[in-house]
Amino acid sequence: MRRVLLLNITYEPLTTVGMHRAVCLVLGEKADVLHSDVSGIELRSETVRLAIPSVIRLRRYIRVPHRSRVPLTRAALMRRDNYLCAYCGTKADTIDHVIPRSRGGPHAWENCVASCTRCNHRKADRLIEELGWTLARDPAVPHGPHWRLIGAINDGDPQWVAYLAESSAA
């Protein structure tokens, strides 16, 4: 699915939204298109022509609540791991506990990783040391105000880089 970078009125990155949601925000006059998609493709109706957006900016300020700890959800964990299996690097579709819950492992950021179904079944309720596996990087809690955008620089539109670089410097 094509994603669109959503900025606050202050140009602060908030999140990415699907193209359908972005078009609804623009047509509902809640956001303005800052950058169109580089392909130049347009959406057309009988009365409206709209270039597919890549970056949109809200017309009103949205206050983002500060959370001391990011809640652990499937979507946030997949985003943190960039939808890649922590064991083999292929496309992830499940979540695995590094220390299995059956062995007392907690359901926490530091113990959960994205995993492909094959690796998840092969690992089962064993420790990675028992299989001789290693993790490319230790799982950690995402932090910072823009945790929803983890990985966006790598898999997003090149037009996003200027906005994301400014937010990571802040």
Question: Cβ distance 7 to 57 under 8 Å?
Answer: yes
Neighbour-count burial of 158, counting CB atoms closer than 10 A to its CB (0-12 exposed, 13-18 middle, 19+ buried): exposed
- pLDDT exceeds cutoff 80 at 11: yes
Is residue 9 in a domain? Answer: yes
| Residue 143, Ramachandran bin (φ over 0: left; ψ between -120 and 50: alpha; else beta) | beta
Most confident of 11-15, 19-23, 69-73: 19-23
Is residue 139 in a domain? Answer: no
| 90-147 pLDDT, tens digit each | 999 999 999 999 999 999 999 999 999 999 999 999 999 999 999 988 999 887 656 6
Q: Which domain holds residue 154?
A: 3-66+145-169
Question: Cβ distance 18 to 27 under 8 Å?
Answer: no
In the prediction, which pLDDT does 79 show?
83
How far, in Å, CA of 14 to CA of 117, rounded?
A: 31
Is residue 140 in a domain? Answer: no
DSSP-derived secondary structure for 21-41: HHHHHHHTTSEEEEEE-TT--
CATH number at residue 94: 1.10.30.50
Q: In total, how many domains does the chain have?
A: 2
pTM of the full structure: 0.61
Tell me: do 78 and 61 sit in the same domain. no
